[in-house]
Structure 1
């Protein structure tokens, strides 16, 4: 009875002095504060729902990562602005704390969240702890894996999709400049130089103009062919690698060569030339530029049809997005980069060209031989190796005879006569070697005696050793071999008219270490698309390939390891490192 009277007295006193609001309900701590944690894309979000008339002190917040490593996270710098209450910084209502995900580790995470608050009645709750467990993926590894999964040409495609126009055009210009050093562009140097040397009244300014026109026409051709290939999947350059186009273009070079030898002069009829001369020299000048432009346009389409990573990247971008404007601009700037060395060489040919006289006949003869060499190089795409070597042999032996190598030297002759005869002898001997190679099965003009040198060494092995590549003729045949293989499968797309393919053949696939790795640990398959037939185009289209060279690798499940696809030339060291990565992923 005495306790009941005491309680009534105390409550009445508190109410009388206003210490307790009749509307305030004293709730237990688990209902006063309800903390929660959410994992979002780039942050960890901690929310605390508070009951009415309760608050939390700013100074008591603490966040500690317990696992995988113990560390305290400075949560206070991520707290929102507090309010002032009873001289303290506090939070009321619902509190949200957003903490960058980088503050935490990766994998399975455990954190401890500490907080303390009071009720407006004046009752304070004891310090509270809340344990949260969640998971954060290792985004750095995902990004690395994602970047690893992009092959060379797909990385370039990504550049087109993400970078500014200025960066894209500058990048592709640089790509083009590097491509100027590849075998696909080399034949254009003698072609342009021959056009300049064969022109009349040539000077530095005119040579520069000829070079620029040639390069611009070449760039336009690359751009048109690239955009068409990207939009429709049809490689115009590859389509022109048929016997008719190659023979016709080779015939043009033979005709130009014979003209330089002085057999005839290519030009307009005399009556037309007289009328043009009467009007102005400008018309004649324009006529010459038109011929240079035509030659530049055709050279791009027929002489250099190889596919390189930047070209493939641009074609994939055009095919995926349909953005022919940006893709075409990238291809055009890439072609300009390829043409810069051509402009330098062409301008130099005009500047340092000998003055009219006897020297000019010799210079014309030299470029006539070069033009014949280009014609043979083109015909070698469709002719058997033995006939190609025979033509090279005839060219070098004929040049030696033209240099009067087999004739005697007059007494007290000029030193240049001796030099010319020495060069002629080298040409003659080399021509004999080429002739021998054409009858012994050699295929490389740079090593015509290879078969004779290695015949004794490989006689015993040749009967036991299979060819390095197994030829496939159809997609069904390839699928069957892929399914039954217990080794990583490599598929090589090649063509006889592809200069980079020949470079791979003569340098990379001829390397003993590469051969040993392919024979022992890979099933090396090859598809020859020289004919560019309907079946060849369908086969390439299945893998999104616009033209050779392209080398694909396949895993245990028969899926291509896309990030390791090779487009263009790789030297033996680079190729071996890719083979090692294929083996690692195959395990």
Structure 2
């Protein structure tokens, strides 16, 4: 079986999970509903089924590697300070057992969420559809950040502590901590898992789905496992290392930044554009000048100044880009009448399935759909329609999701002048303007048979 692994290919594949090819194994079509003519005759006759033997082993190894790669995403990486703080404060023996329990908690949570989404056809990130959930996660991250600042000692939440303290040296506390971190990380694993979900759904086996997602989560949790083992030694470092206190405060600001990240969907566009730069600027000023932490080596002062300058530069560039950008592409709000009118114009149609809580959706809107070339091409040659999925329950939206088999956001589909989808142009992730413009050019040409 030939398996192609690569961060960009897996993460951005427009038809979901990469197509797996093997002798005597049916090749499954993409989740976008690729027509049977694009598959082999054997694939038409043989429905997708579970993998066996070496095919299963190599597939799981590939998924495991993909899980490890997901730790490089900006949503999961900032969870590292939580692991350091939690395990650094635990005493006693059995750090390996605690670390393993922590990893199992992450794996179990993501497996359950993934299989549930696959079986129900729900959208990844649906847990973030209610503002109260966003506020809860932001509050949790803020509280954890204040612990890193030294305002209080980080402990497991009270309800979990009641269970964990029954056996202080046991593994129940780390297990629940892993469960909690799995919930926080679930909305962040995005398009990679979206493609994997559609592939699991096509296999038709909940048990296989659990094994696949459990393997993916083990790959995600492996770095945390080793980090937990190492963090047990952090508390035993010499107290004279005051620079570690400064590092903790830096991690605290990372947690505050993550809280702001989850709050941005609740804010207006202009306020959301200011929040993160303001937080970064505040972090730089505090860490470089207001904080009086000292260290025993001269380079520490240069490090503080470098962090401050980097923070100020990031804040300036981010805020400038947010307010200097020109007008964006104009989208019509979806309803059945708009679709009829769009078809009557004879122009190709671009439908953007988006949501306020979706970070890649905002990237598409603020970067790609504000690019001058994309805006001009869209205005002259396309009809743009947006389906806002921030809130569920709209019957017209639900019908459209089923019609086009939309499994997650962002999803951008292209319809030709007859109203038929161009399956080869479907997009399920953020894409920079240059590449999106290439899709628009292809959408304006007739599909070659």
Alpha-carbon distance in structure 2 between the residues aligned to 1:471 and 1:180: 40
Higher-Rg structure is 1
Alpha-carbon distance in structure 1 between the residues aligned to 2:419 and 2:157: 64
Alpha-carbon distance in structure 1 between the residues aligned to 2:391 and 2:226: 35
Match of 2:87 in 1: 199
* Correspondence 1:554 to 2:415: yes
Match of 1:293 in 2: 178
- Tell me, what secondary structure is at the counterpart of 1:199? helix
Q: Does structure 2 retain, via aligned residues, the 8 Å contact 1:308–1:568? A: no
**Cα deviation code 1:444-483 (max 9, x no counterpart):** xx621125545xxx6xxx6xxxx41413243x13432342
Q: Taking CA–CA contacts closer than 8 Å with sequence separation of 6 or more, which of the two structures ends up with the larger relative contact order?
A: 2
Alpha-carbon distance in structure 2 between the residues aligned to 1:259 and 1:512: 45
Q: What TM-score, normalized to structure 1?
A: 0.58
Shift of 1:248: 0.8
Deviates more, 1:413-422 or 1:323-332: 413-422
Q: Does structure 1 retain, via aligned residues, the 8 Å contact 2:67–2:217? A: no
**Cα deviation code 1:98-145 (max 9, x no counterpart):** xxxxxxxxxxxxxxxxxxxxxxxxxxxxxxxxxxxxxxxxxxxxxxxx
Shift of 1:301: 3.4
Match of 2:9 in 1: none
Equivalences for residues 324-473 of structure 1 within 5 A: 324-340=206-222, 355-357=237-239, 358-403=242-287, 405=289, 414-428=298-312, 431=315, 433=316, 447-450=318-321, 453=324, 467-473=328-334
* Correspondence 1:225 to 2:107: no
- Give the counterpart of 2:352 among 492, 507, 526: 492
Distance 1:532 1:269, change over 3 A: closer
- Segments of 5+ residues of structure 2 without an aligned counterpart are 1-25
Distance 1:333 1:408, change over 3 A: closer
- Tell me, what secondary structure is at the counterpart of 2:387? strand
Match of 1:126 in 2: none
Match of 1:314 in 2: 199
Q: Does structure 2 retain, via aligned residues, the 8 Å contact 1:174–1:334? A: no
Alpha-carbon distance in structure 2 between the residues aligned to 1:326 and 1:452: 48
- Greater fraction helix: 2
- Tell me, what secondary structure is at the counterpart of 1:252? helix
Distance 1:556 1:228, change over 3 A: same
Shift of 1:311: 2.7
- Greater fraction strand: 1
Alpha-carbon distance in structure 2 between the residues aligned to 1:221 and 1:176: 16
**Cα deviation code 1:288-347 (max 9, x no counterpart):** 4034222222123344455755234235416xx4x2222333333333344455556666
**Cα deviation code 1:528-569 (max 9, x no counterpart):** 212234444443233221220111121233222334322234
**Number of equivalences:** 405
Distance 1:570 1:289, change over 3 A: same
Shift of 1:586: 5.6
Shift of 1:191: 1.1
Q: Does structure 2 retain, via aligned residues, the 8 Å contact 1:174–1:337? A: no
- Tell me, what secondary structure is at the counterpart of 1:502? helix
Give the alignment's Cα RMSD to 1 decimal.
Answer: 4.3
Q: What TM-score, normalized to structure 2?
A: 0.73
Alpha-carbon distance in structure 2 between the residues aligned to 1:290 and 1:149: 36
Q: Does structure 1 retain, via aligned residues, the 8 Å contact 2:141–2:255? A: yes
Alpha-carbon distance in structure 1 between the residues aligned to 2:284 and 2:114: 42
- Tell me, what secondary structure is at the counterpart of 1:234? coil
Q: Does structure 1 retain, via aligned residues, the 8 Å contact 2:60–2:212? A: yes
